[in-house]
Amino acid sequence: MPRKARKNGQEAKLIGSSNEQICIVSGINDMNNVFFEIAGRGQLTNNSLEGILKNKIKAGSIISTDKRSNYKTILKLFNVAEHNTYQSNTAEAYRNLGNINSLHSRFKEFIREMHGVSTRRLENYLIWFSWIENFKRNEDKNNLIINIISNNKYEKSVRDYPNTSYLFMDYWNNNQYGLT
């Protein structure tokens, strides 16, 4: 990696919108189907949020989110029937956003068990976790496996794994870190 390695659990700077941090969008529906997708580096943008949600939200849906302004702007484009927003640290939010908060807790535990995840492999871990969550909630596991295999495009094989490219390499190639 072109940046100085972080050792012994050091984290990226948490000042404002550090571009070293990776933004992940996640969601869960009433049928307990989950998704986790990488939105980009730094703060969540409207374009990345729209791209991620465009095939996941149908017109007439009822959506509950925190009060992040991006959701209000983008959900208008999808003609949702109702958009409920909650202040993250209130009892009302804990009641209404409990499923997603619980999902986030399970994801953090999943990542913690891996003892650190490189950005290069993050997408694979997100897919792995989503698959586990979707599989354990589905009653008809045989049909779920058939649907997952038939409806998804698998671009990576085990042989290709060592050659996986680094995410956001354009960020590391600029002169911010004295690189050429």
Structural contact between residues 51 and 32, judged by C-beta atoms closer than 8 angstroms: no
Per-residue pLDDT, 90? 82
75-105: pLDDT as tens digits: 999 999 999 998 877 888 878 888 888 899 9
Which residue is associated with the tokens 């990776």? 22
Range ranked top by mean pLDDT from 3-7, 108-112, 130-134, 140-144: 108-112
14-71: pLDDT as tens digits: 544 567 788 899 998 887 788 899 998 888 889 999 999 988 888 889 999 988 888 9
Per-residue pLDDT, 178? 44
Which residue is associated with the tokens 């049928």? 31
Domains along the sequence of the chain with CATH: 22-177 (3.30.420.10)
Q: Which range (35-39, 45-49, 120-124, 171-175) has the least confidence?
A: 171-175
pTM of the model: 0.69
**C-alpha span between 66 and 96 (Å, rounded):** 10
Half-sphere exposure of 89 (CA within 13 A, CB side): 0
